[in-house]
Amino acid sequence: MGYNETTLAQTSVLNLTPNGSEGAIWMAGSGLAADASGNIYFLDANGTFDTTLDANGFPTNHDFGNAFMKVSTTGNTLAAADYFETSNTVAESAGDEDLGSGGALVLPDLQDTAGTVHHLAVGAGKDSKIYVVNRDSMGKFSAQNDNAIYQEISGAIAGVFSMPAYFNNTVYYGAVNDRVKAFPIANAKLATTASVQSSNSFQYPGTTPAVSASGITNGIVWAVENSSPAVLHAYDAGTLQELYNSNQAASSRDHFGNGNKFITPMVANGKVFVGTQSGVAEFGLLQ
Protein backbone atom coordinates (compact mmCIF):
# COMPACT_ATOMS: atom_id res chain seq x y z
CA MET A 1 0.00 0.00 0.00
CA GLY A 2 1.23 3.50 -0.86
CA TYR A 3 0.51 6.65 1.15
CA ASN A 4 1.01 10.36 0.57
CA GLU A 5 4.02 11.31 2.68
CA THR A 6 2.42 14.59 3.83
CA THR A 7 -1.19 13.65 4.51
CA LEU A 8 -0.86 9.85 4.82
CA ALA A 9 -3.84 9.51 2.52
CA GLN A 10 -3.74 6.17 0.72
CA THR A 11 -2.70 6.64 -2.90
CA SER A 12 -2.26 3.13 -4.29
CA VAL A 13 -2.70 -0.57 -3.55
CA LEU A 14 -1.08 -3.53 -5.29
CA ASN A 15 -2.31 -7.08 -4.74
CA LEU A 16 0.32 -9.56 -5.91
CA THR A 17 -2.01 -12.59 -5.84
CA PRO A 18 -5.36 -11.02 -6.88
CA ASN A 19 -6.65 -14.26 -8.39
CA GLY A 20 -4.86 -16.68 -6.08
CA SER A 21 -3.89 -17.07 -2.45
CA GLU A 22 -1.06 -16.42 0.00
CA GLY A 23 1.98 -14.53 -1.36
CA ALA A 24 2.54 -12.40 1.75
CA ILE A 25 5.35 -9.84 2.04
CA TRP A 26 7.10 -10.45 5.36
CA MET A 27 10.85 -11.00 4.76
CA ALA A 28 11.54 -11.78 8.44
CA GLY A 29 10.71 -8.19 9.31
CA SER A 30 13.13 -6.62 6.82
CA GLY A 31 12.20 -3.33 5.19
CA LEU A 32 11.58 -2.84 1.50
CA ALA A 33 14.52 -1.88 -0.72
CA ALA A 34 14.45 0.90 -3.32
CA ASP A 35 16.62 2.37 -6.06
CA ALA A 36 17.24 5.99 -7.07
CA SER A 37 14.45 5.82 -9.64
CA GLY A 38 11.81 5.02 -7.04
CA ASN A 39 11.44 1.33 -7.85
CA ILE A 40 10.78 -0.96 -4.88
CA TYR A 41 12.31 -4.43 -4.50
CA PHE A 42 11.30 -7.29 -2.21
CA LEU A 43 10.90 -11.06 -1.98
CA ASP A 44 7.35 -12.41 -2.06
CA ALA A 45 6.34 -15.39 0.10
CA ASN A 46 5.06 -18.73 -1.18
CA GLY A 47 1.75 -18.44 -2.99
CA THR A 48 -0.03 -18.69 -6.31
CA PHE A 49 2.03 -18.12 -9.44
CA ASP A 50 0.53 -18.39 -12.92
CA THR A 51 2.89 -20.48 -15.02
CA THR A 52 1.05 -19.33 -18.18
CA LEU A 53 2.64 -16.07 -19.30
CA ASP A 54 1.42 -13.24 -21.51
CA ALA A 55 3.34 -11.79 -24.44
CA ASN A 56 5.47 -9.69 -22.08
CA GLY A 57 6.42 -12.66 -19.91
CA PHE A 58 4.12 -11.73 -17.02
CA PRO A 59 1.70 -14.19 -15.35
CA THR A 60 -1.64 -14.05 -17.13
CA ASN A 61 -3.70 -13.74 -13.93
CA HIS A 62 -1.25 -11.31 -12.28
CA ASP A 63 -0.34 -13.76 -9.49
CA PHE A 64 3.32 -13.37 -8.42
CA GLY A 65 3.59 -15.71 -5.42
CA ASN A 66 7.16 -16.63 -4.38
CA ALA A 67 8.78 -14.03 -6.65
CA PHE A 68 11.67 -11.57 -6.45
CA MET A 69 9.69 -8.42 -7.30
CA LYS A 70 10.36 -5.02 -8.82
CA VAL A 71 7.49 -2.59 -8.29
CA SER A 72 7.36 0.83 -9.95
CA THR A 73 5.91 3.91 -8.28
CA THR A 74 5.48 6.05 -11.42
CA GLY A 75 2.59 8.47 -11.10
CA ASN A 76 2.15 7.49 -7.44
CA THR A 77 0.78 4.16 -8.62
CA LEU A 78 2.18 0.81 -7.55
CA ALA A 79 2.64 -1.61 -10.46
CA ALA A 80 4.59 -4.81 -11.12
CA ALA A 81 7.48 -3.68 -13.34
CA ASP A 82 9.58 -6.87 -13.46
CA TYR A 83 10.21 -10.07 -11.53
CA PHE A 84 12.21 -13.27 -11.20
CA GLU A 85 10.64 -16.63 -10.43
CA THR A 86 12.47 -19.92 -9.90
CA SER A 87 11.73 -22.75 -12.33
CA ASN A 88 10.49 -24.93 -9.42
CA THR A 89 8.36 -22.19 -7.85
CA VAL A 90 5.14 -24.25 -7.80
CA ALA A 91 6.83 -27.07 -5.87
CA GLU A 92 8.46 -24.58 -3.50
CA SER A 93 5.15 -22.90 -2.73
CA ALA A 94 3.44 -26.25 -2.19
CA GLY A 95 6.18 -27.14 0.30
CA ASP A 96 5.96 -23.83 2.20
CA GLU A 97 9.47 -23.02 0.96
CA ASP A 98 9.24 -19.23 0.89
CA LEU A 99 11.62 -17.23 -1.18
CA GLY A 100 10.16 -14.37 0.85
CA SER A 101 11.51 -15.46 4.25
CA GLY A 102 14.54 -13.22 3.65
CA GLY A 103 15.00 -9.57 2.75
CA ALA A 104 16.18 -8.00 -0.51
CA LEU A 105 19.24 -5.74 -0.77
CA VAL A 106 19.90 -3.25 -3.57
CA LEU A 107 23.64 -3.16 -4.29
CA PRO A 108 25.55 -0.06 -5.38
CA ASP A 109 26.40 0.16 -9.08
CA LEU A 110 29.08 -2.40 -9.92
CA GLN A 111 31.49 -2.36 -12.85
CA ASP A 112 32.92 -5.49 -14.44
CA THR A 113 36.37 -5.85 -16.02
CA ALA A 114 34.99 -4.81 -19.41
CA GLY A 115 33.80 -1.51 -17.94
CA THR A 116 30.10 -2.39 -18.05
CA VAL A 117 28.06 -1.03 -15.13
CA HIS A 118 25.58 -3.44 -13.54
CA HIS A 119 22.53 -2.57 -11.43
CA LEU A 120 21.99 -5.52 -9.11
CA ALA A 121 19.97 -6.68 -6.12
CA VAL A 122 20.46 -9.75 -3.94
CA GLY A 123 18.11 -11.94 -1.89
CA ALA A 124 17.74 -15.42 -0.41
CA GLY A 125 15.05 -17.47 1.32
CA LYS A 126 14.26 -20.91 2.67
CA ASP A 127 15.70 -22.81 -0.32
CA SER A 128 19.31 -21.98 0.69
CA LYS A 129 20.22 -20.24 -2.56
CA ILE A 130 21.49 -16.71 -3.10
CA TYR A 131 19.75 -14.97 -5.99
CA VAL A 132 21.44 -11.99 -7.65
CA VAL A 133 19.16 -10.21 -10.12
CA ASN A 134 19.87 -7.61 -12.78
CA ARG A 135 17.49 -4.82 -11.80
CA ASP A 136 17.18 -3.79 -15.47
CA SER A 137 16.15 -7.30 -16.57
CA MET A 138 15.38 -9.63 -13.67
CA GLY A 139 14.78 -12.83 -15.62
CA LYS A 140 11.05 -13.53 -15.23
CA PHE A 141 10.05 -17.24 -15.39
CA SER A 142 11.02 -20.37 -17.29
CA ALA A 143 9.71 -23.81 -16.36
CA GLN A 144 12.90 -25.39 -17.73
CA ASN A 145 15.67 -23.58 -15.84
CA ASP A 146 16.82 -20.39 -14.08
CA ASN A 147 19.31 -19.42 -16.78
CA ALA A 148 17.81 -15.96 -17.25
CA ILE A 149 18.83 -14.81 -13.77
CA TYR A 150 22.05 -12.80 -13.47
CA GLN A 151 23.58 -15.13 -10.84
CA GLU A 152 22.32 -18.02 -8.69
CA ILE A 153 24.52 -19.49 -5.94
CA SER A 154 23.72 -22.91 -4.44
CA GLY A 155 25.29 -24.66 -1.46
CA ALA A 156 26.97 -21.61 0.09
CA ILE A 157 24.48 -20.91 2.90
CA ALA A 158 21.62 -22.55 4.78
CA GLY A 159 18.01 -21.30 4.79
CA VAL A 160 17.57 -17.56 5.30
CA PHE A 161 15.15 -15.77 7.62
CA SER A 162 17.08 -12.50 7.68
CA MET A 163 18.48 -9.61 5.72
CA PRO A 164 21.99 -9.46 4.22
CA ALA A 165 24.35 -6.53 4.84
CA TYR A 166 26.75 -4.80 2.45
CA PHE A 167 30.08 -3.18 3.27
CA ASN A 168 33.22 -2.44 1.27
CA ASN A 169 32.37 -4.58 -1.76
CA THR A 170 31.23 -7.53 0.37
CA VAL A 171 27.82 -9.06 1.14
CA TYR A 172 27.29 -10.68 4.56
CA TYR A 173 24.70 -13.39 5.31
CA GLY A 174 23.67 -15.01 8.62
CA ALA A 175 21.57 -18.07 7.72
CA VAL A 176 19.82 -20.52 10.08
CA ASN A 177 22.19 -22.80 12.02
CA ASP A 178 24.97 -21.30 9.94
CA ARG A 179 27.87 -18.93 10.51
CA VAL A 180 27.98 -15.30 9.45
CA LYS A 181 29.59 -15.50 6.01
CA ALA A 182 31.25 -12.89 3.79
CA PHE A 183 30.86 -13.00 0.00
CA PRO A 184 33.22 -10.53 -1.73
CA ILE A 185 32.29 -9.06 -5.09
CA ALA A 186 34.64 -9.26 -8.08
CA ASN A 187 33.92 -8.53 -11.74
CA ALA A 188 30.39 -7.48 -10.68
CA LYS A 189 29.57 -10.95 -9.27
CA LEU A 190 29.39 -12.46 -5.79
CA ALA A 191 31.91 -15.11 -4.85
CA THR A 192 30.26 -18.52 -4.97
CA THR A 193 31.79 -19.53 -1.63
CA ALA A 194 32.39 -17.45 1.48
CA SER A 195 35.83 -15.89 1.78
CA VAL A 196 35.67 -15.83 5.60
CA GLN A 197 33.13 -16.84 8.23
CA SER A 198 32.49 -16.46 11.94
CA SER A 199 33.67 -19.13 14.36
CA ASN A 200 30.19 -19.54 15.87
CA SER A 201 26.87 -20.33 14.22
CA PHE A 202 23.42 -18.86 14.84
CA GLN A 203 20.34 -20.88 15.70
CA TYR A 204 16.91 -20.12 14.21
CA PRO A 205 16.22 -17.66 12.69
CA GLY A 206 19.90 -16.95 11.98
CA THR A 207 20.90 -13.31 12.20
CA THR A 208 20.67 -10.04 10.30
CA PRO A 209 24.13 -8.44 10.44
CA ALA A 210 24.69 -4.69 10.76
CA VAL A 211 27.93 -2.88 9.93
CA SER A 212 29.55 0.13 11.58
CA ALA A 213 32.69 1.76 10.15
CA SER A 214 34.66 4.92 9.58
CA GLY A 215 34.09 5.27 5.86
CA ILE A 216 35.51 2.04 4.44
CA THR A 217 37.91 1.44 7.36
CA ASN A 218 37.57 -0.09 10.83
CA GLY A 219 34.49 -2.05 9.80
CA ILE A 220 32.69 -4.03 12.52
CA VAL A 221 29.95 -6.57 11.77
CA TRP A 222 27.40 -6.79 14.60
CA ALA A 223 25.05 -9.75 14.98
CA VAL A 224 22.57 -10.91 17.64
CA GLU A 225 22.18 -14.55 18.64
CA ASN A 226 18.60 -15.63 19.47
CA SER A 227 19.43 -17.52 22.67
CA SER A 228 18.72 -17.27 26.40
CA PRO A 229 20.34 -15.02 27.29
CA ALA A 230 20.68 -13.29 23.95
CA VAL A 231 24.24 -12.62 22.77
CA LEU A 232 25.54 -9.60 20.88
CA HIS A 233 28.61 -10.42 18.75
CA ALA A 234 31.09 -8.03 17.14
CA TYR A 235 33.41 -9.19 14.34
CA ASP A 236 36.17 -7.61 12.32
CA ALA A 237 34.48 -6.94 8.97
CA GLY A 238 37.49 -8.09 6.96
CA THR A 239 38.25 -11.37 8.73
CA LEU A 240 35.05 -12.08 10.75
CA GLN A 241 37.31 -12.76 13.74
CA GLU A 242 35.32 -12.06 16.89
CA LEU A 243 36.22 -8.84 18.71
CA TYR A 244 33.62 -9.03 21.49
CA ASN A 245 30.50 -10.82 22.66
CA SER A 246 28.15 -10.00 25.50
CA ASN A 247 28.90 -13.31 27.28
CA GLN A 248 32.63 -12.59 27.64
CA ALA A 249 32.47 -10.80 30.99
CA ALA A 250 33.07 -13.05 33.99
CA SER A 251 29.82 -11.79 35.53
CA SER A 252 26.49 -11.23 33.81
CA ARG A 253 27.40 -7.55 33.35
CA ASP A 254 26.57 -7.43 29.62
CA HIS A 255 23.55 -9.76 29.59
CA PHE A 256 20.50 -7.98 28.24
CA GLY A 257 17.61 -10.47 28.33
CA ASN A 258 16.33 -13.36 26.29
CA GLY A 259 16.63 -13.39 22.53
CA ASN A 260 13.90 -12.80 20.00
CA LYS A 261 13.35 -13.39 16.31
CA PHE A 262 14.38 -10.95 13.58
CA ILE A 263 16.42 -8.54 15.73
CA THR A 264 18.90 -6.25 13.99
CA PRO A 265 21.48 -4.23 15.95
CA MET A 266 21.38 -0.48 15.31
CA VAL A 267 24.54 1.61 15.61
CA ALA A 268 24.39 5.35 16.25
CA ASN A 269 26.66 7.92 17.94
CA GLY A 270 29.13 5.31 19.14
CA LYS A 271 26.48 3.12 20.75
CA VAL A 272 24.89 -0.19 19.73
CA PHE A 273 21.17 -0.64 20.41
CA VAL A 274 19.58 -4.10 20.50
CA GLY A 275 15.89 -4.95 20.89
CA THR A 276 14.76 -7.70 23.27
CA GLN A 277 11.39 -9.24 24.12
CA SER A 278 10.74 -6.53 26.71
CA GLY A 279 12.99 -3.54 25.97
CA VAL A 280 16.07 -2.11 24.30
CA ALA A 281 19.67 -2.68 25.41
CA GLU A 282 22.32 0.01 24.87
CA PHE A 283 26.00 -0.93 24.53
CA GLY A 284 28.93 1.48 24.60
CA LEU A 285 32.60 1.67 25.48
CA LEU A 286 33.60 1.20 29.13
CA GLN A 287 35.01 4.25 30.89
In a domain, 83, yes or no: yes
In a domain, 31, yes or no: yes
Alpha carbon separation from 205 to 126, 199, 202 (Å, rounded): 11, 18, 8
Q: What number of other Cβ atoms are within 10 A of residue 116's Cβ?
A: 9
Distance of alpha carbon 14 from alpha carbon 229, whole angstroms: 41
Is pLDDT at 145 greater than 80 in this prediction?
A: yes
Predicted pLDDT at 287: 77
**Do 89 and 141 touch, CB atoms closer than 8 A?**
yes
Q: For residue 278, name the pLDDT band (cuts at 50, 70, 90).
A: confident
Report helix, strand or coil for 183.
strand
Q: What is the pLDDT of residues 63-108, one digit of tens each?
A: 999 999 999 999 999 999 999 999 999 999 999 999 999 999 999 9
> What is the rounded average pLDDT for all residues in the chain?
96
18: CB partners within 8 A, 6+ apart: 61, 62, 63
Predicted pLDDT at 274: 96
In a domain, 225, yes or no: no
Q: What is the mean pLDDT of residues 181-195?
A: 98
Q: For residue 266, name the pLDDT band (cuts at 50, 70, 90).
A: very high
Is pLDDT at 250 greater than 90 in this prediction?
A: no
Whether the model pTM is above 0.85:
yes
Residue 225 sits at φ, ψ, to 5 deg, of -95, 125
The domain containing residue 90 runs over which residues?
Answer: 2-154
Predicted pLDDT at 286: 84
Report helix, strand or coil for 185.
strand
Q: What is the mean pLDDT of residues 42-59?
A: 97
Residues in the chain: 287
In a domain, 133, yes or no: yes
In a domain, 10, yes or no: yes
In a domain, 245, yes or no: no
**Do 64 and 17 touch, CB atoms closer than 8 A?**
yes
In a domain, 26, yes or no: yes
In a domain, 93, yes or no: yes
Q: What is the mean pLDDT of residues 137-148?
A: 97
Distance of alpha carbon 287 from alpha carbon 284, whole angstroms: 9
Please state the domain count of the chain. Answer: 1
